[in-house]
Amino acid sequence: MPARLQEVAIRAGVSIKTVSNVVNGYAHVSPATRARVEEAVAALDYRPNLSARSLRGGRSGIIALAVPELAVPYFAELSQSVVRAAGLRGFTVLVDQTEGLPDRERLVLEGIRPHLIDGVIFSPLALGQDELARRQDRTPMVLLGERVEAGSMDHVAIDNVAAAREAVLHLAALGRTRIAALGAIRSAKGENARLRLAGYREGLEAAGLPFRSELVAEVRDFHRHDGAAGMARLMALEPPPDAVFAFSDLLALGALRACYDRDLRVPEDIAVVGFDDIEDGRYSAPSLTTVSPDKEHIARLAMDLLGTRLEERTAKGSGALEGTPAGGGSGGLGSAGPRDVLAPHRLIVRESTAGRGKR
């Protein structure tokens, strides 16, 4: 027999109402209590009755997640984290791939089946802040990724500038003096790159190293072949860099291949740091030092923000199924304004900077 709400409450040592609040995504539950309930939900394999919940609260129990590329490991791993976080709250996730194309991203803004979807978690690449602010659909939406300006929707990101600065300072602390940046992008998709380049420059300044424009390698995208090509250009310099900070792990993996093809030793001849902490980097040879965004934390924050907006809609007596505004605002905002929340990150030191057996 499937577990009942009462059994979850007994195991977690809380009331049935508290369990209901957690699985329905309501935000006003303490972190410690939420953790106990989520542990009980997982242990008992509790499955909310989505049909009953829809009839009671005017919700479908379905949210959408829109990301640029599922073939990119970072977005695949992040999607998995969102699916887990949503599942603990009893939501099913529909995943859409936009490929970072403006038209596809506009479709997400204009509404993904608004009579089916309770809310949206969206990682845009191509659309700027002005276009995001003009959104008319009232379905609650949380943005993931990088924005320089405060916007009109809830938003979860990491501090890219601080993270990049930390990566560069790590390389400088190893005695590297010609630290290259691999990943500058001039297109509209380059918000990540602009922030990480700013952090790179801050790191050089803090380390007392000069900024040299020739050590900044531009790329078309954050893929492996872009990293290999950019690294080849850097190694043609005289003198070449003795370290490289790649703006993504895929770029760093491409850079490692370019070093191997030229019989360069990593980290003895050149140290390499990536960004994203994808699983591939843990198994590369050498294993990759990287900036690790806490993907599980990002997913939980996004679901907490979305849950708050859904709670506000329910309190106001309107919902996505009626297609009516819930307090105005292009992100389905109620009386509270948009919230920008930072998730934690950390630098994970592996063989590509520390050497084998010295981590």
Residue 66 lies in a domain: yes
Short-list 309, 290, 300, 341, CA closest to 145: 341
Identify the domain boundary among 293, 318, 334: 293
In three-state secondary structure terms, 231 is helix
Per residue in 211-252, pLDDT (tens digit) is: 999 999 999 999 999 999 999 999 999 999 999 999 999 999
Query: In this structure, are 147 and 103 located in the same domain?
Result: yes
The DSSP call for residue 200 is H
The pLDDT tens digits for 330-356 are 455 555 688 989 999 999 999 999 998
Band (322; pLDDT cuts 50, 70, 90): very low
Q: Are residues 180 and 274 in the same domain?
A: yes
Q: Which amino acid is at 328?
A: G
Domain extent, residue 99, equals 48-158+294-343
Give per-residue pLDDT as tens, 116-172: 789 999 999 888 778 888 888 888 999 998 765 556 789 999 999 999 999 999 999
Taking the C-alpha atoms of residue 127 and residue 106, their distance in angstroms, rounded to an integer, is: 8
pLDDT in tens, 268-308: 999 999 999 999 999 999 999 999 999 999 999 999 999 99
Distance of alpha carbon 205 from alpha carbon 200, whole angstroms? 9
How many whole angstroms separate alpha carbon 63 and alpha carbon 117?
A: 5
Cα–Cα distances (Å) from 94 to 80, 116, 120, 206, 281, in that order, read 12, 10, 9, 44, 28
Neighbours of 150 (CB within 10 A): 11
CB atoms within 10 A of CB 240: 17
The span from the CA of 291 to the CA of 24, in Å, is 33
| Secondary structure letter of residue 357 according to DSSP | T
Decide if 31 is inside a domain. Answer: no
165 and 286, same structural domain? yes
- The number of folded domains in the chain is 2
Task: State the residue for tokens 């900070």.
Answer: 245
Check whether residue 66 and residue 150 sit in a common domain: yes
Report how far residue 20's alpha carbon sits from residue 24's, in angstroms, rounded to the nearest whole number.
6
Asked if 269 and 299 sit in the same domain, the reply is no
**In a shared domain, residues 164 and 85:** no
Q: Tell me whether residue 38 is in a domain.
A: no
